[in-house]
Amino acid sequence: MPDLLVPLYKLPAQAPRGDAVVIRRAIAPEMHVVCDFAERHFSRNWASECAVAFAARPPGVLMAVEEGKLLGFACYDATAKGFFGPTGVAEAARGRGIGAGLLTTTLHAMWQAGYAYAVIGAAGPVGFYERHCGAIEIPGSEPGIYGGMLR
Ligand SMILES: CC(C)(COP(=O)(O)OP(=O)(O)OC[C@H]1O[C@@H](n2cnc3c(N)ncnc32)[C@H](O)[C@@H]1OP(=O)(O)O)[C@@H](O)C(=O)NCCC(=O)NCCS
């Protein structure tokens, strides 16, 4: 899976949602909730990345919450500075624009933090990123920083 590059100086605007889903930055006491969610729905490696992203002030973790329930998350500056990810949405909540909302909100946060570009490390759904944030593949980026990682 290649890394992708995203220009942050021409991001699409954040569209208001027409439902009860709130996308907001997480706070430190919510770390266990997000890490447990990442481990339960995805992997222990992703839970580790979430924990690292929570160590920043403010935490580099955005969440999608509906009626007190966590539906998805996205991190930045977890494995490397300037990296977006990991991100994931609970299977039952997919296809409602939540992944795109988390992506756009997190990329805007990275722009506000001073980055001009974000890197999506070892991107799985390349088409999703191309479509929602103008991501392009970085030549020669496979395997990238995750090559040889222990699981
Ligand atoms: C990728 C992910 C976060 C998207 O979340 P989501 O809430 O379903 O996304 P949205 O509803 O905002 O957008 C869905 C759109 O993206 C498209 N999409 C989803 N996965 C895709 C993929 N693998 N390749 C291309 N397009 C994809 C859908 O077809 C859909 O298109 P539509 O708007 O025309 O219906 C979610 O599928 C997920 O958690 N996947 C598993 C974890 C993962 O791969 N994370 C990314 C690691 S780099």
**What percent of the chain has a predicted confidence (pLDDT) above 70?**
100
User: What is the residue with the minimal CA distance to atom 39 of ligand 1?
Assistant: 88
pLDDT digits (tens, 9 = 90+) for 62-111: 999 999 999 999 999 999 999 999 999 999 999 999 999 999 999 999 99
pLDDT digits (tens, 9 = 90+) for 129-141: 999 999 999 999 9
Q: How far apart are CA 27 and CA 15, in angstroms?
A: 23
Whether 15 shows a pLDDT value over 90: the answer reads no
95 CB under 6 A from ligand 1?
A: yes
128 CB under 6 A from ligand 1?
A: yes
Q: Selecting from 3.40.30.10, 1.20.120.1200, 3.40.630.30, 2.40.50.140, what CATH number does the domain 4-137 have?
A: 3.40.630.30
The closest-lying atom of ligand 1 relative to the alpha carbon of residue 42 is 42
Question: Which residues, 6+ apart, have CB-to-CB distance to 59 below 8 Å?
Answer: 25, 26, 27, 28, 31, 53
User: What is the residue with the minimal CA distance to atom 14 of ligand 1?
Assistant: 95
Question: What are the structural domain ranges in the chain?
Answer: 4-137
